[in-house]
Amino acid sequence: MRIFHIVAPSEWAAAGQRGSYSPAAYAADGFVHFSFADQVARVANARYRDAPELVVVEVDSDEVPAPLRIEDTYGAGERFPHVYGAVPTSAAVAVHPLERDAFGEWAFSGDAGAPARPGR
């Protein structure tokens, strides 16, 4: 299954040098937040409205050894994928630029992603 994580480009680049990704929020939440493709833009606009630049990392969940749970952790009536452990950067299949539309809202189509690493 493909799952998507919103992150600053510099954070993802740093993770690439380490070989694994675990955001600062992991310490408090105990998991890495992911979205399904149709949830990305809404999450970006709700959580990262003022961010100057974002990318969306597309991950093949079959390549992540940590447990994956699809759950509604906040009781909001919507389920999201969560990974309970660090995410190996090798599990990324593409990195998508997140761009703003004509109204200044983050927009995501899932297209035009660059390969996460050569040959993949």
Query: Domain with 69 in it: what CATH number?
Result: 3.20.170.20
What range does the domain containing 89 cover?
Answer: 2-109
Q: Is residue 115 part of a domain?
A: no
16 pLDDT higher than 80: yes
**118 in a structural domain:** no
The neighbour count for residue 113, using CB atoms within 10 Å, is: 18
Within-domain flag for 86: yes
| Three-state DSSP state, 68 | strand
At 47-102, the pLDDT tens digits run 999 999 999 999 999 999 999 999 998 888 999 999 999 999 999 999 999 999 99
Question: Total structural domains in the chain?
Answer: 1
- The model carries a pTM of 0.89
Cα radius of gyration (the chain): 14
Sign of the alpha-carbon torsion through 88, 75, 35, 1: positive
